[in-house]
Each structure stands twice: as C-alpha cells, then as structure tokens.
C-alpha cells in the first residue's frame, strides 16, 4: 500500500513539475517570451484548440487572431512556439524559400504529397517533377478538355432553362472542377457532371469532412489509431459518411494510380495525365514513385483542385448576379471580344480580358484560399522583425531559427489599407484607373495570397484560371436569377482549412430564365 502511495505521489509530483516547468518556460524563458499578446496562447496550445474546435462549433481562430492584432499590434504569439505577423510588408520574408510545417497535409492524411513536404529540398524535387504539366503552355494545349466540360455545364444550364426548378450551381461547379482535375490527373474522369445528385452528395460529404479537419490536425495520432483499431475490433469501421467517402475516394485514387503503374506499355497519355508523367519522370527517384506516395499526391491534387476552384467560381457567380452592374460590364467586355475574335473565344483570349480576370481575382481574394495558418520556418537562419505600428511600435524582435511564422490570408485580404471596404466584391480594385494608381494595383497583386506566394504558390493556378474563365464567360450567355441565396451562403464564417459559409447553407441556387438576348 505504502509503495503504491509513494509511486502515486511521485507520478503526481512529476506531472505537476512537468506542467509548472513548461508553464514557467513558455511564459518567461522561451525565446518568444517577449512577443506581444495575451498570456494564455503563449502558455498552451489548448487555447488554439478551443477556438478551432469549440467556439461556435469551431473554425474561429483566424477571426480571433485578427482581433488580437487590433489590440496587440502586428506581431503576436498564437501558440507557444509560433508568431503571427499581420504586416503586408513582411510577406516576402515569410514566403521566401523556407520549410513549411506539414500540419495541413496531416489534417488531410496526405503526408507524402507535395503539401506534405516539410523540408524545402524535398519539396523542390516533387515540385520540379510536376511543374511542367501545370505551366500556362501545358494548360493551353489541354483547352479541348476544359471546353468539353464547359459545354457540359452549358447543356445542364440549357436543360434547367425555364424549368422553374432551381439549379444548385455549387453542385454544378463541384462536378465541373472535379471532372477537370481528374481528367487532367488520370486521363479519365468520374463524369460527375452527368450525375449532379452524386456531385451534391460528394460536395456535402467533403464539406462535412473538412469540418473535422481541426480535430484531425490536433489529434492526428488518436484518429489514425482509431482508424486502424476500430475495424480490427469491430470487423468494420464505424465512421461518419464523410470519412467513409474519403476512404472510398482514397481507395479509388489508389486504384487509378495502380492502373497507371501497371500500364507499362502505355506512355501515349503524355500531355493528358499528370500521373503517367510522374511514373515515367526522370527527376523523381524510385522511392518517390511508390503507389502510396503517388496516391497521396493524387488525393491532394483532386481535393485541392476541386474544392478551391468550385468555391471561387461560386463566389464569383454569386456577386456577379448580386451586383448587376458587374454582370453588365462583363457582358460588354465579352461582346466586344467576340466581335473581334468570333463567338467561341479561345482560352488565351479569355485569359487576357482585364475585367473577367479582375472578377476572378476578386473571387479568389474573398475565397481566402487556405484559411488556416500556413507556417514557414527557417531551419538555421534567425530573422528580425520591427513592429511598424501598435503598442510595441519600433521594437525589434529576433525570431530564432525554427520559429514558425505565418500571415493568415484573412488578415492580408481584409487589411483596409490594402483593400478598402474589404468585404465588398469589387473587381475594379485590380484595374489601374484615375482613382486607382498602377503602383497601388501592383502592390495589391503582390499581397494577394489566395493562391499562396513564392515557391510553394498553388501549382494549380493555371488550371483554376482556365476552368474559371471558360465557365464564367459561358454563364453570361444565360439569364440567371439567384434563388433563396444571399451573401451568407458565400461569406467566410468558418475556417475549416478552406472558408466555409454558414453551416446550414444549401449552396448557391439559381433559376435559369433562358438565353440572354444581347
Ligand atoms: C481558385 C482555386 C485555387 C485556390 C484558391 C488555391 C489555393 C491554394 C493555396 C493557398 C495553396 C497553398 C500554398 C502554400 O502552401 O502556401 C495551394 C497549394 C496547392 N494547390 Fe491550389 N488552389 C486552387 C486551385 C488548385 C487546383 C485547380 C489544383 C490542382 C489541379 C491545386 C493544387 C494545389 C497543390 C497540389 C498545392 C500544393 C503546392 C505546393 O505545396 O507546392 N490548386 N493552393
């Protein structure tokens, strides 16, 4: 008895000592101890967990961080080992060539993907192998693929025309983006555009899955353990439909990859399938071409390519219909271009239209890209930051090597000094004019981080631009009316890795009233 009591005492004392020691270290001895901010996030990572998983059902930390900056100035400490800097002039330093923490990839269970490469050397190898298939030239060569899918969208709109039944355009965009990215990746798609009910199911399941991303990220080991153990104990997994869907999706992706790896005779898919190319890549070493790694890469590609593109398209469509003056300007720009180049504008021509590009840019800005912190760190180099404003104005802070640092896209894209009236959808802010100097516009473009920045900038940017410009131009040919949809169906209210609008949103719905008569 006495032995057990003594043991319990020693354990209790050790645990207490550990907690007190960690607290004292984090608050007073840590190299970041002098960074401004409240003491609780400096003390414990549970502060972040609280805002990520509990407040309003989760996904609130970015909004809270923004508030902390209003009080404490441009640099704060959102977790014990991390700084957050809300200062556009420091973006280039953060996004320089550095390591990036791989928490994002862990949350999505794609550890060995491009986004999962923590070390910048490893990232460079993976990225160099993929870059050529995402270049503007490569995408222009695939114009037929995009046009085919855009025509399928037009067929859906025509079919819905004058039916009086609302079309859920969020489902349509999800199907469109998914079909494109799958064709582009594997040389064959899942024909979601032909089955919008299935697209709806997958879209909702993905959204549900993403609502659990913070739990996955904070308790990765637990969820992975449960994923392994529960099926062994019960013979079958008891998992929510969204997770079952992810497992199915990963299995399907795995099969697609295995088919490609086994298809030794066929190299003829070149130019049409990223994964045929990666399989035969001279850049990637053999350990980077295993089925498991390529499966992670494919999962990331399809998820990132589908969700983000569909979201930006939804935002663009909502505001274009909500603010008729924007629709009129778009139609006028397209009318003039069609007079010059014919009714079917080639992709290169569409991409060069200033107002359409500005509307797309603005939709990306309000999509906020990846809404969580995308931390960078230098393994060996210390950095310095001098606060240009706030209570600690003029103070220089030294950030030792390995300090994780980030700027939330929310903070940059709602910075009033960069984007006046930031929640307003205003394509004009991207176009130089009498009231908008070229310098201002260029500075905005440099600070636009919806697609990331620097060497880890979104690899799919040209895919997204092609997909968006073609379908938006097509939409203007129809008279569409928003149906039971308002701004709360598109506005960023929850951070689940990507922005989420209100929880009970059905998506964007429209009535198709027919073809627009010029
Ligand atoms: C409008 C649509 C899109 C948005 C807003 C978007 C946004 C982003 C952002 C913010 C990043 C993170 C960059 C970072 O780590 O700092 C990213 C990375 C990535 N995106 Fe996109 N994306 C879009 C479309 C696409 C498409 C269509 C694809 C694929 C075809 C794609 C594939 C990827 C991949 C693979 C990465 C990881 C890149 C790397 O770590 O080097 N994205 N994207």
Helices 354-367, 324-341: inter-axial angle, 10-degree rounding: 140
Q: Which atom of ligand 1 lies closest to the CA of 464?
A: 27
pLDDT confidence of residue 459 = 96
13 C-alpha to center of ligand 1: Å? 48
Edge-to-edge strand list for the sheet holding 509-515: 167-168, 509-515, 478-482
pLDDT confidence of residue 79 = 96
454 C-alpha to center of ligand 1: Å? 12
Residue 258, token pair as written in the block: 């295995």
Helix H, strand E, coil C: the string for 42-56 is HHCCHHHHHHHHHHH
pLDDT confidence of residue 57 = 93
DSSP assignments along 74-98, one per residue: SEEEEETTEEEE--GGGHHHHTSS-
Torsion of the alpha carbons at 59, 397, 36 and 412, rounded to the nearest 10: -40
Report d(CA 335, CA 297) in Å as an integer: 40
Residue 239, token pair as written in the block: 């998992």
Report d(CA 77, CA 32) in Å as an integer: 8
102 C-alpha to center of ligand 1: Å? 14
38 C-alpha to center of ligand 1: Å? 33
Domain ranges of the chain: 1-30, 31-515
Q: Which atom of ligand 1 lies closest to the CA of 126?
A: 41
210 C-alpha to center of ligand 1: Å? 16
Which residue puts its alpha carbon closest to atom 23 of ligand 1? 308
pLDDT confidence of residue 232 = 60
Of 126, 118, 119, 109, nearest to 209 (Cα)? 109
Cα angle: 484, vertex 488, 490; to 5 degrees: 95
DSSP assignments along 338-372, one per residue: HHHH-SS--HHHHHT-HHHHHHHHHHHHHHTSB-S
301 C-alpha to center of ligand 1: Å? 8
Residues 6+ apart with CB under 8 A from 165: none
Please state the pTM of the whole predicted model. 0.93
Pocket of ligand 1, beta carbon within 6 A: 114-115, 127, 181, 300-301, 304-305, 308-309, 312, 364, 367, 369-370, 374, 450-452, 456, 458-460, 463-464
Q: From the CB of residue 114, how many other CB atoms can be counted at a distance below 10 Å?
A: 20
Report d(CA 92, CA 53) in Å as an integer: 31
Tell me, rounded to whole angstroms, the distance of Cα 95 from its chain centroid.
16
Q: Which atom of ligand 1 lies closest to the CA of 313?
A: 1
Residue from 308, 315, 404 whose mutation best tests the ligand 1 pocket (most atoms within 8 A of CB): 308
Which residue puts its alpha carbon closest to atom 2 of ligand 1? 309
Helices (H), 115-219: 120-130, 136-141, 143-160, 169-186, 196-211, 213-218
Report d(CA 489, CA 510) in Å as an integer: 13
ipTM: 0.96
Helix H, strand E, coil C: the string for 457-476 is CCCCHHHHHHHHHHHHHHHC
153 known member of a binding site = no
Q: From the CB of residue 292, how many other CB atoms can be counted at a distance below 10 Å?
A: 11
Which residue puts its alpha carbon closest to atom 19 of ligand 1? 458
- The CATH code for residues 31-515 is 1.10.630.10
Of 170, 505, 510, nearest to 322 (Cα)? 510
Which residue puts its alpha carbon closest to atom 5 of ligand 1? 369
Which residue puts its alpha carbon closest to atom 41 of ligand 1? 456
DSSP assignments along 415-484, one per residue: -TTTSSSTTS--GGGGS-BTTB-HHHHHHHHHH--TT--GGGS-TTHHHHHHHHHHHHHHHTTEEEEE-S
Report d(CA 492, CA 294) in Å as an integer: 32
458 C-alpha to center of ligand 1: Å? 3
Residues 6+ apart with CB under 8 A from 454: 92, 95, 96, 97
pLDDT, one tens digit for every residue, the chain (518 residues): 688 888 888 888 888 888 889 999 999 999 999 999 999 999 999 999 999 999 999 999 999 999 999 999 999 999 999 999 999 999 999 999 889 887 666 667 788 999 889 999 999 999 999 999 999 999 999 999 999 999 999 999 999 997 889 999 999 999 999 999 999 888 878 899 999 999 999 999 889 888 888 888 888 777 777 766 666 665 555 556 666 677 777 888 888 888 888 887 766 555 567 888 888 888 999 999 999 999 999 999 998 899 999 999 999 999 999 999 999 999 999 999 999 998 889 999 999 999 999 999 999 999 999 999 999 999 999 999 999 999 999 999 999 999 999 999 999 999 999 999 999 999 999 999 998 999 999 999 999 999 999 999 999 999 999 999 999 999 999 999 999 999 999 999 999 999 999 999 999 999 999 999 87
425 C-alpha to center of ligand 1: Å? 22
Q: Which atom of ligand 1 lies closest to the CA of 123?
A: 41
Report d(CA 126, CA 378) in Å as an integer: 19
Residue from 108, 180, 364, 460 whose mutation best tests the ligand 1 pocket (most atoms within 8 A of CB): 460
């Amino acid at each position: 008895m006495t032995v057990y009591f003594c043991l319990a005492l020693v354990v209790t004392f050790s645990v207490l000592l550990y907690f007190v020691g960690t607290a004292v270290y984090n608050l007073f001895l840590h190299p970041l101890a002098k960074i401004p901010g409240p003491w609780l996030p400096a003390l414990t990572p549970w502060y972040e967990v609280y805002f990520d998983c509990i407040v309003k059902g989760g996904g609130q930390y970015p909004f809270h961080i923004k508030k902390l900056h209003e009080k404490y100035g441009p640099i704060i400490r959102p977790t014990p080992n991390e700084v957050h800097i809300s200062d556009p002039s420091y973006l280039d330093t953060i996004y320089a060539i550095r390591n990036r923490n791989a928490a994002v990839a862990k949350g999505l269970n794609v550890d060995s993907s491009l986004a999962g490469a923590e070390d910048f050397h490893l990232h460079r190898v993976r990225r160099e192998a993929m870059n050529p298939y995402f270049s503007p030239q490569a995408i222009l060569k695939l114009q037929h693929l995009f046009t085919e899918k855009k025509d399928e969208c037009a067929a859906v709109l025509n079919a819905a025309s004058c039916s009086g039944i609302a079309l859920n355009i969020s489902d349509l965009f999800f199907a469109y983006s998914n079909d494109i990215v799958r064709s582009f990746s594997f040389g064959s798609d899942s024909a979601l555009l032909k089955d919008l009910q299935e697209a709806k199911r997958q879209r909702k399941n993905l959204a549900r899955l993403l609502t659990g991303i913070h739990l996955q990220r904070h308790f990765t080991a637990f969820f992975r353990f449960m994923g392994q153990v529960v099926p062994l104990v019960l013979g079958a997994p008891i998992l929510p439909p969204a997770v079952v869907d992810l497992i199915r999706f990963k299995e399907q992706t795995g099969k697609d990859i295995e088919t490609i790896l086994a298809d030794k005779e066929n190299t003829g898919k070149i130019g049409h399938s990223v994964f045929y190319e990666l399989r035969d890549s001279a850049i990637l070493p053999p350990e980077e071409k295993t089925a498991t790694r390529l499966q992670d890469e494919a999962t990331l590609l399809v998820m990132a390519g589908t969700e983000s593109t569909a979201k930006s398209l939804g935002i663009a469509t909502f505001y274009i219909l909500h603010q008729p003056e924007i629709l009129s300007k778009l139609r006028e720009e397209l009318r003039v271009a069609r007079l010059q180049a014919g009714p079917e504008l080639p992709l290169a021509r569409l991409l060069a239209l200033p107002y359409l590009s500005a509307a797309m840019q603005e939709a990306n800005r309000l999509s906020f890209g990846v809404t969580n912190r995308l931390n960078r760190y230098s393994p060996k180099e210390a950095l310095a930051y001098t606060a240009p404003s706030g209570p600690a104005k003029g103070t220089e802070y030294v950030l030792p090597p390995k300090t994780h640092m980030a700027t939330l896209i929310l903070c940059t894209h709602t910075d009033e000094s960069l984007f006046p009236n930031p929640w307003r959808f205003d394509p004009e802010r991207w176009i130089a004019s009498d009231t908008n100097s070229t310098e201002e516009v260029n500075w905005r473009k440099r600070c636009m981080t919806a697609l990331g920045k620097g060497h880890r900038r979104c690899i799919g940017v040209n895919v997204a631009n092609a997909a968006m410009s073609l379908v938006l131009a097509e939409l203007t040919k129809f008279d569409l009316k928003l149906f039971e949809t308002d701004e709360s169906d598109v506005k960023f209210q929850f951070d689940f890795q990507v922005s989420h609008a209100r929880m009970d949103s059905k998506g964007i719905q429209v009535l198709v009233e027919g073809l627009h008569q010029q």
